[in-house]
Chain A
């Protein structure tokens, strides 16, 4: 017997997120989308509810609620405001990566601060202008000195980069090419030499800042190194595996919110006599969403129970983002002029969800990763996939 029901505890966290989404995020979402900016007030409320550290130990300020609870919470928050939610996803990911790879001192110093929102949020600085999907092409360097490390280079597309108080920054510490010789560093937001660019103007997620970072001789102490020297790339990959559950959950929430709005529209407009093309659109959307939801929760459950979850997370992220965009596009087309007005929940969902196919590993990267896994499993498992 397979039990698909999340635990009472996970449901409780979901309920907290649902309430926050309805009372805090959703009322601010339209203005945030229209005017841009950064949702500091909403994030303070989210921190108070300890949703910046859903899957982190209680002694470090977290909720210790597990990965399923995290996924459910992110989905609910994204129904309210996708832009605010991505900052929450990344901050949780940063807290988890510090908790997983950090020294006891690093954990004690940073995780409670991230959990309490004292860093506002954490940010993840991996991508560069010439290193998107190909993270191994990064050029930012960290040079060893007597006092620690000096970072020089530039990062691009850094979510929450305008306001984050703590960055995990990847930089090349050795001369070996590609993904070897990269190390991860914990860099406070107020460090000298760190320049933050202006937020990019984007199609959607306009209440999430996406900025370039400039590192001009940024000095950090020895204990800023996160994990082993030269072993930073696996840190990033592992963080992204978990991050994909967050983005899949975010896509579920965005598409779910669009489906809610479309269903309301269908009821108001057609009453009991809903035309078949509308019925079909709702049926297909709900079915695709449910398939994506099951994949996402399965990935979360695998991670929560300590099982390998990388493949499941990629499948979940690929499905939730691509089907999610297809759902939002279908519903926007279905509703026509009713939804094409800027700020309408379906219109915003269409713009917001599109980036979930790009960040935290593009759909193409997911397919590459998945195909490698499939081939490996086939070889290991006697010709079965």
Chain B
């Protein structure tokens, strides 16, 4: 099956990171993914575990405290973690986006805090819902409400500031922030919450230099990484279904011998490969410093639906067992469907892609 999903093969220079991620998934994710989902919380020291495994600041320069690799390597990590836990994969994606954003802005103090935090941080695009409304004695006054956003130990929140944008690094316990935890269908271990923001935020928490371009860059990174996570979820479900189909016997033979089963695996492997190639195209554009918004939107569009489909087919292959929480498939199906909560809905991505095509033809 690994050979059948060739696009997941790492370039030679990334083989060490691939092996490190695989070991991390084996030792820290696979055995706990179900417990995290049931507890609706990730491990309290997941950020530390990412760092210890060399998965914190993967694309951030070593001089800034990162690993010094690339967004391609980051996407590989998100995909591999996604095979075992969608929540952990999206948490990794969000944390890496925070680190990338802080590193780009040269916000070294905040970057240092995020890199050394036991818990992952989250990146939130609040430019539609939160705005700077003025200044007070305690700093910038910001106000707004965010629906079902991921909350980390701290959050880098992008907000509207007049005609431009601003970004703040705000701890979850900041007095201007009110967090209402929500139960969700999928990505349950990610702390998805309704967040109200109303109050003054000190100047020191504003990340200087985050403009519209920086926002677009981080947004594209997040979309591409969540797409990578979705590909991973679909791949994890497909591999689990393949393993199950080889051992489950009905009508005197392994069910993998039936076309009805085998072709589901073939379809999933094919569309997930295609989706992964679109993720690679997006992260290569990001690594090359090119505009990646449209490539990331395509990756999201190519990944989210097929990941759900692959999980649903994997559930079907598992039959009644797949519908129970004894097997990971039902969780993967929920997680795949919830990726759009963080990575953006199809309507948003299709709109962006369509506008880009129209622009090309004048």
Q: Which residues of A contact B (CB under 8 A)?
A: 127, 130-134, 137, 156-157, 200-204, 210, 275, 277, 325, 329, 332-334, 336-337, 340-343, 347, 350-351, 354-355, 357-359, 362-364, 367
Docked pose: A145 CA to B137 CA in angstroms:
91
**For A362, what are the chain B residues with a Cβ–Cβ distance below 8 Å?**
316, 319
Complex contact B319–A358 (CB within 8 A) = yes
Nearest residue in A to B304 (C-beta to C-beta)?
Answer: A333
Smallest Cβ distance from A314 to chain B, in angstroms?
15
CB of B114 within 8 A of chain A?
Answer: no
What are the residues of chain B within 8 A of A340 when measuring CB–CB?
A: 148, 184-186, 337-338, 341
- Contact check, A359 vs B320: say whether CB atoms are below 8 A apart: yes
**A residues within 8 A CB of B261?**
364
B274 on the A face (CB < 8 A)? no
- Best-surrounded residue of B258, B261, B308, B330 (most CB of chain A within 10 A): B330
Given contacts A132-B319, A133-B251, A333-B346, 19 further A-B pairs with CB under 8 A are: A132-B320, A201-B324, A201-B325, A203-B323, A325-B312, A332-B337, A334-B345, A340-B184, A340-B186, A340-B341, A341-B183, A343-B183, A350-B185, A354-B312, A358-B320, A358-B323, A364-B258, A364-B261, A364-B316
For B189-215 the 0/1 string (1 means CB < 8 A from A) is: 000000000000000000000000000
Q: Which chain B residues border A201 with CB–CB below 8 Å?
A: 324-326
Pick the 5 closest A-B CB pairs, nearest first: A203-B330, A342-B183, A134-B250, A337-B148, A201-B325
From B250, B330, B346, give the contact of A202 (CB < 8 A): B330
Q: In angstroms, how far is the closest chain A Cβ from the Cβ of B306?
A: 13
- In the complex, whether B243 has a CB less than 8 A from a CB of chain A is no
CA distance A157 to B319 in the complex (A): 11
- A333–B323 contact, CB under 8 A? no
Report the separation of the CA atoms of residues A204 and B334 in the bound assembly, to the nearest whole angstrom. 11
Chain B hits for A359, CB < 8 A: 320
List 18 A-B residue pairs with CB atoms under 8 Å apart, sorted by A's residue number. Answer: A133-B319, A157-B320, A201-B324, A201-B326, A202-B330, A203-B325, A204-B323, A210-B324, A332-B185, A333-B304, A333-B308, A336-B341, A336-B345, A342-B182, A357-B316, A358-B320, A358-B323, A363-B316
Q: Which of A204, A347, A367 is the most central at the interface, judged by chain B CB atoms within 10 Å of its CB?
A: A347
Residues of A within 8 A of B240 (CB): none
- Please measure, in the bound complex, the distance between the C-alpha atom of A367 and the C-alpha atom of B322, giving whole angstroms: 20
In the complex, what distance in Å separates the CA atom of A5 from the CA atom of B236?
A: 48
The interface bits of chain B over 21-33 (1 if a CB of A lies within 8 angstroms of the residue's CB, else 0) are 0000000000000
Is the beta-carbon distance between B323 and A354 smaller than 8 angstroms?
A: yes
Task: Please measure, in the bound complex, the distance between the C-alpha atom of A333 and the C-alpha atom of B345, giving whole angstroms.
Answer: 7
Residues from chain A with a CB closer than 8 A to the CB of B308 are 329, 333
Question: Roughly how many angstroms separate A131 CA and B147 CA in the complex, as a whole number?
Answer: 46
Q: Which residues 131-148 in B have Cβ within 8 Å of A in the complex?
A: 147-148
Query: A218 to nearest B CB, angstroms?
Result: 23
B340 pairs with A202, CB closer than 8 A: no
B63 within 8 A of A: no
Measured CB to CB, the closest approach of chain A to B228, in angstroms, equals 19
Contact of A200 (CB < 8 Å), options: B250, B324, B346: B324
Q: DSSP class of A's interface residues: helix, strand, loop or mixed?
A: mixed
Q: Mark B241-265, 1 if CB is under 8 A from A, else 0.
A: 0000000011100000010110000
Are the C-beta atoms of A351 and B147 separated by less than 8 Å?
no
B347, CB-defined interface residue at 8 Å = yes
Residues on B with beta carbons closer than 8 Å to the beta carbon of A336: 340-341, 345
Please report the C-alpha to C-alpha distance between residue A200 and residue B330 in the assembled complex, in whole angstroms: 13
Shortest Cβ gap from B226 to chain A (Å): 14
| Binary contact readout B215-244 vs A (1 if CB under 8 angstroms, 0 otherwise) | 000000000000000000000000000000
Residue pair B185, A127 in contact (C-beta under 8 Å):
no
Q: Report chain B residues within 8 Å CB of A134.
A: 250-251
Q: Which of B323, B330, B334 has the most CB of A within 10 A?
A: B323
In whole angstroms, what is the CA distance A101 to B334 when docked? 42
Q: How far does the alpha carbon of A343 sit from the alpha carbon of B316 in the complex, in Å? A: 24
What does the 1/0 interface line of B321-345 toward A look like (CB < 8 Å)? Answer: 0111110001001100110110001
Asked if B315 lies at the interface with its beta carbon under 8 angstroms from chain A, I say yes
What residues of chain A lie closer than 8 Å to B305, measured between beta carbons? 333
Residues of A within 8 A of B338 (CB): 340
Q: How far is the CA of A155 from the CA of B359 in the complex (A)?
A: 62
A334 to chain B minimum Cβ distance, whole angstroms, is 8
Contact of A342 among B185, B260, B312, B322 (CB under 8 A): B185
Check A133/B315 contact, CB under 8 A, given A340-B184, A341-B148, A341-B184. no
- Give the distance to chain A from B353, nearest Cβ to Cβ, in Å: 13
B250 → chain A closest CB, angstroms? 4
- CB of B243, distance to nearest CB on chain A (Å): 17
Encode contact with A along B294-324: 1 for CB under 8 Å, 0 otherwise: 0000000000110010001001100110111
* B337 CB to nearest chain A CB (Å): 6
- A189–chain B nearest beta-carbon distance, Å: 22
Given contacts A337-B148, A342-B185, A357-B316, contact A202 B324 (CB under 8 A): yes
Query: Nearest chain-B residue to A177 (Cβ)?
Result: B252
Q: How far is the CA of A74 from the CA of B184 in the complex (A)?
A: 28
Residue contact B184 to A342, C-beta cutoff 8 Å: yes
Chain B contacts for A337, CB-based, 8 A: 147-148, 341
Query: Which residue of B is nearest A201, CB measured?
Result: B325
Nearest Cβ in chain A — how far from B125, in angstroms?
Answer: 13
Q: How far is the CA of A137 from the CA of B316 in the complex (A)?
A: 20
Complex alpha-carbon distance, A363 and B260, angstroms: 10
Query: Closest CB-CB distance, B357 to chain A, in whole Å?
Result: 17
Distance, CA A120 to CA B12, complexed state (A)? 64
In the complex, what residue of chain A is closest to B325 when comparing beta carbons?
Answer: A201
- Chain A positions within 8 Å of B319 at CB level: 132-133, 358, 362
In the complex, what's the smallest C-beta–C-beta distance from B186 to chain A, in angstroms? 7
Give residues 17-67 of B contacting A (CB, 8 Å).
none
In the assembled complex, the Cα of A200 lies from the Cα of B320 at a distance in Å of 10
Task: Determine how close the nearest CB of chain A comes to the CB of B180; give it in whole angstroms.
Answer: 11
The answer for the CA separation of A200 and B345 in the assembled complex, in Å, is 33
Among residues of B, the one whose C-beta sits closest to the C-beta of A137 is B250
How far, in angstroms, from A343 to B312 measured CA to CA in the complex? 20
Query: For B320, what are the chain A residues with a Cβ–Cβ distance below 8 Å?
Result: 127, 132, 156-157, 210, 355, 358-359
